[in-house]
């Protein structure tokens, strides 16, 4: 009975999302990147801005897992030396009315009932790239995308990238690691 009630609520939210949505789209982009290093890691901090403004509250409340994937490509000397992906996942519990958030890109796991707090958490990027103590210039490219989501209540897939106008936000930056001897 509880499963039926959850599906019914999820169905109502999903139907409302498609019927009343503005489908304005969002101009998702990364904020300025803050970067620094220590003896073993380069710390990269930024956030997606304007990514989850329009239409996303209904998507988040659909009950389907929503995954935002951040990909970090690292180059040295023009050659890709590493590609790392981080998944930020949101699942809404319609019966208890809270969001479960697993944000790998921000190393943050929590529950919240606030959509504003949810947006802030899944937008944050705070990652450490292990440079293994190797000095030199590192070129980075950070991008974000979302996969299609199955809206079970409507029995159809929905391409979330439509809400980003089919544009994958990305930012490129470089950083030079120099070891200091004391």
pLDDT tens by residue, the chain, 182 residues: 445 444 544 444 444 444 444 456 789 999 999 999 988 899 999 999 999 987 788 889 988 999 999 999 999 999 999 999 999 999 999 899 999 999 999 999 999 999 999 999 999 999 999 998 899 999 999 999 998 998 776 678 889 999 999 999 999 999 999 887 65
Of 36, 66, 41, the closest CA to residue 163 belongs to 66
CB 116: neighbour CB atoms within 10 A? Answer: 10
pLDDT at 50: 94
Backbone angles phi, psi at 96, to 5 degrees: -100, -5
pLDDT at 12: 47
Sheet strands (E) in the chain:
29-30, 34-37, 41-49, 66-76, 79-93, 98-103, 108-112, 124-130, 136-146, 148-151, 156-159, 170-177
Which 8-state DSSP code applies to residue 167?
-
**Model pTM?**
0.83
Distance CA 145, CA 166 (A): 9
Q: 20: phi > 0 → left, psi -120 to 50 → alpha, else beta; which?
A: alpha
Backbone angles phi, psi at 40, to 5 degrees: -130, -20
Identify the three-state secondary structure at position 17.
Answer: helix
pLDDT at 154: 66
Q: Beta strands 41-49 and 34-37: pairing type?
A: antiparallel
Place of tokens 């210039």: 137
Cβ burial of 63 (10 Å; 0-12, 13-18, 19+) is buried
């Amino acid at each position: 009975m509880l499963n039926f009630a959850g599906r019914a609520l999820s169905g109502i939210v999903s139907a409302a999302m498609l019927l009343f949505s503005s489908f304005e789209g969002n101009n998702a982009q990364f904020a300025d990147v803050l970067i620094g290093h220590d003896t073993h890691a380069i710390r990269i901090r930024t956030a997606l801005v304007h990514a989850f403004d329009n239409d996303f509250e209904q998507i988040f409340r659909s009950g389907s897992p929503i995954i935002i994937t951040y990909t970090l490509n690292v180059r040295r000397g023009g050659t890709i030396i590493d590609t790392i992906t981080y998944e930020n996942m949101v699942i809404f519990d319609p019966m208890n009315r809270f969001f479960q958030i697993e944000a790998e890109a921000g190393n943050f796991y929590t529950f919240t009932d606030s959509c504003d707090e949810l947006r802030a958490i899944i937008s944050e990027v705070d990652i450490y790239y292990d440079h293994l103590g190797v000095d030199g210039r590192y070129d980075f490219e950070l991008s974000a995308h979302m996969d299609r989501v199955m809206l079970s209540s409507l029995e159809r897939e929905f391409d979330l990238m439509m809400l980003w106008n089919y544009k994958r936000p990305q930012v490129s930056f470089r950083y030079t690691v120099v070891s200091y001897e004391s």
